[in-house]
Amino acid sequence: MMNPSQTIGPYQIVQPLAAGGMGQVFLAKKTGEGGVEMTCVVKTLLAAYAGDAEFVRMFLREARILASLRHQNIVQLFDCGRVDGTLYLAMEYVEGHDLRDMMTQAGGRPLPLAVALRIAIEALNGLAYAHTRVGDDGRPLNLVHRDLTPTNILLSREGAVKLVDFGIAKDAVSEDRTIAGVIKGKLQYMSPEQLDGRPLDARADLFAMGLVLYELATGVRPFAADTTSPLFAKVLHGEYTPASVVAGTPQELDRLLAKALAKRAEDRFASAAAMLADVEKLALAVGALPINGLRDYYRDLFESPRLPHAAADETGSADEQTVGRPRLAPAPASASAPPVPWKAPPRWIGAIVLPAAILVAAGAWALFSGKAVVPRAETSSVRPAAPAHSTTGPTAAANPAPASPPGRIKVAPDVDCDVYLDGKLIGATPLASFEAAAGQHELLLRNENLGVAATVPVTVAAEKTARVAATLMATLVVKVIRGTKVYVDSTVLGLTPLPPTPVKPGPHQIRLVHAALGKDVAIQRTFTAGAVTRIDEDLTK
């Protein structure tokens, strides 16, 4: 892990942002002539892969895809290079939050429908552009993002929506073809054909966009499950509750989502442009946002002063909200109960939000606060007796030192886990940043299902955000002849070539089976968290 003060070419590292299976991401800055500074994001290929031609090719392929995309709704690539053996990409820095942060900040409640639809419109604009890009030879690139999730859609504080992370995007000219049985992407946001390992086209991204829009509009995921087996079953059978039942949204949204989330790709929208047209039509019907609507909503959500309130609402205790623990979404209405009436959302125009209205709506502001403020005690008319005179001088209690303002912590582990701060449960990732007192703390990150945990010391500075990119898993890299079936213990990973695969630390048996060559090889390895274990076998001998 690189430290602040280190540099990558002309870029000085400011702080780490995230770590993945094959790379690291940093906030960085570049200083130009006259001391002009440019903030950007730098992504590097891990040193363990720097000499591997296959991973270098995959890394540079992402750079080529980004370089070909110039659109206001897609994060831009500024630079690509290699310095001292380290490959890097320098990309646009978006000052803002991803949609997962937004939903957490909103307390797990639905976003106003006009806001959700505007975000979908902007994201679909970016997808429509990417899906229809052509190469230098005039042939369609047939790009498919394959990893469209709330964490890969950003909203800047100026209201701009940006798509990020085309690292596993599929295109028509790449040699990195989808292999049957190999899944790439995040399971919660995959289409049925993606889960099955079948060939994909742009309609897989539209399914994912439907999932994101449903979650924004209802506060819950359409296909929620604790383990992968029931999740697969729900997605493959199309089993979800209509948004109108969950959150009282108009039935026009149900019809739009039903088409986006159709089990068969041929029953979905034919293109991002077609889905965009229907979303725009619905947005006009419910009351479209003004030009600065997303900006104003973002600032209301993340930056507006919070009015004090005496107690937590029904979704959690004051103590839970103080540390930013995500609150529960409202339970879906029962089949016998009428849907919640839907009302057009406000338009977030500054002139409309009158001071008197803000005071009347103090309880509503509490929904966005993420913390409870203990009300001050009533002033007593009886003054306490004056303290007896002391000859030893003023005491510390008489002149208390001013308390340092708190900071925040943002956790980005390589696997979903429960997060504890100094022994107290904060919540399960993905989490928005949460408040912590300035000083030294201990984070415990634990995934009980996988049996992995890590303890991470963290120093929080006043009014600053400490970012923790923790690694709980090991990484397996298999380099064998194409078409080899790979097992970890009894679990089938798929056919080679495979991407870097996270593996639980500890001893495992790696089994390599190539039927055509008549090979069945078992290899014992012990995996270490944060380390890469390579399996490089010549099965042709």
The catalytic residue positions are: 147
Residue 514 CA to residue 540 CA, distance in Å, equals 10
Burial degree of 287 (CB within 10 A; 0-12, 13-18, 19+): middle
| Residue 116 near residue 110, CB atoms below 8 Å | yes
Asked if 240 and 222 touch (Cβ cutoff 8 Å), the reply is yes
DSSP character string of 162-220 = EE---TT-B-SS-S-PPPTT---S-GGG--HHHHTT----THHHHHHHHHHHHHHHHSS
- Whether a cis peptide bond, with omega within 30° of 0, leads into 497 is yes
User: 3-class SS at 448?
Assistant: coil
Nearest Cα to 145, choosing from 186, 113, 114?
Answer: 186
Rounded Cα–Cα distance for residues 540 and 517 (Å)? 7
Residue type, position 166, single letter? F
Q: Can you tell me the distance from the alpha carbon of 143 to that of 209, in angstroms, rounded to the nearest whole number?
A: 15
Cβ neighbors of 234 (< 8 A, separation 6 or more) are 223, 224, 225, 240
Residue (of 448, 447, 451, 443) closest to 468 by Cα position: 443
Q: How far apart are CA 47 and CA 266, in angstroms?
A: 43
> What are the distances in angstroms from CA 29 to CA 32, 443, 447?
10, 28, 34
Asked if 86 and 259 touch (Cβ cutoff 8 Å), the reply is no
Cβ-in-10-Å burial (0-12, 13-18, 19+) of 401 comes to exposed
Distance separating alpha carbons of residues 298 and 102, to the nearest angstrom: 8
Cβ neighbour number for residue 388 with a 10 Å cutoff = 5
Residues 6+ apart with CB under 8 A from 418: 425, 427, 428, 429, 445, 446, 447, 448
Residues 6+ apart with CB under 8 A from 33: none
